[in-house]
Amino acid sequence: MQLPEGFPSQGESVVCRLVKSLYGLKQASRQCNLKLCETLFHSGFIQSSLDHSLFIKRQGSDIVVILVYVDDMLVTGSNMALIEQTKASLHKSFKIKDIGELKFFLGMELRRSKKGFL
């Protein structure tokens, strides 16, 4: 890694300390996951003790469920307004893209019927 422009290089003993993790470093994915967990906890989500990639938020009789897989998230729930509020909250901390209704996940094609997903 090279020093950014404008930094005086006074020999080979000069080092820079990173304030945040850079994309591509070994710890980058861990740091991103920690930030995601912190954001979700701050928004009222609880992490499942059985599956650490599953987050649940209950508000009265409504529920929002988030499943995280690497850099993808499935967001579902019983109240569309609460789902939209959750996505807006995530958008404040992360660059996210809503691709709409679930059609493909982990190499599986999913189809929705009145009885649920096939």
Weakest-pLDDT range from 8-22, 39-53, 91-105: 8-22
111 band by pLDDT with thresholds 50, 70 and 90: confident
What is the domain partition of the chain in residue ranges? 31-117
pTM of the model: 0.76
- The answer to whether 10 and 22 have CB atoms below 8 angstroms apart is no
Task: In whole angstroms, give the CA distance from residue 51 to residue 21.
Answer: 26
21 or 76, greater pLDDT:
76
CA nearest neighbour of 39 among 98, 90, 96: 90
2 or 49, greater pLDDT:
49
User: Is the C-alpha dihedral spanning 99, 63, 93, 34 positive or negative?
Assistant: negative
Task: In whole angstroms, give the CA distance from residue 57 to residue 87.
Answer: 13
Report phi then psi at 67, rounded to 5: -115, 125
pLDDT of residue 116: 73
pLDDT of residue 29: 82
Q: What does the pLDDT look like over 62-87, one tens digit per residue? A: 999 999 998 889 999 999 999 999 99
